[in-house]
Amino acid sequence: MKISPPIDAVAAELERWAQVDGWKTVGLAVAEQYHAAGGGDILPTADSENGLSNATQRVKRIFRGFDGPRYAPQAEGLKSAALAALPTERRARVLRPHSPAYLVAVATKEFVDAINAINLGAAPTEILREADEAISAIRIAAMTAARVTVTPNIGIQ
């Protein structure tokens, strides 16, 4: 049985995504996934400026009000579309936040950011911040991986 993430984790990740790319981007992506999977009454199609505006507003309202009686069923109905719409790294953070593979991917990304800061001549404070983030991410990945035992020919236990 596949375990589904809690709706509050999905809603929080949608909020973080919207802070970076805007609610129009998030609303469009969720609406497209929702209607590609068969759609329904929860969201209007985003095939016009008015439709995009309405779909975006509904997605925002539904996931901000997921814990209330009015929007809880709608948030559950949109959860799979929202998960499918999330960019890969964001989806992995929601679905497998403690997975060694995800944590190593984050550590690798942070390490690349630190190297780029050095190579591109960033300010010393930025280089130190990026290096601290990389070290922290590597430490978390290593501590998580150390808790997982690997048996040859059997896989992760």
Q: What does the DSSP 8-state code read for residue 41?
A: S
Alpha-carbon distance of 148 to 7, in angstroms, equals 27
Alpha-carbon distance of 57 to 54, in angstroms, equals 5
Alpha-carbon distance of 155 to 135, in angstroms, equals 27
pLDDT value at position 145? 81
pLDDT value at position 156? 47
Give the DSSP H or E segment for 140. helix 124-147
What radius of gyration, in Å, describes the C-alpha atoms of the chain? 19
* Cut 0.85: pTM above it: no
Alpha-carbon distance of 24 to 118, in angstroms, equals 35
Alpha-carbon distance of 75 to 91, in angstroms, equals 16
What residue has token string 């990945």?
A: 141
The two most distant CA atoms of the chain are separated, in Å, by: 57
pLDDT means per 10 residues, the chain with 157 residues, are 83 97 97 93 92 95 95 95 96 91 92 96 96 93 75 48
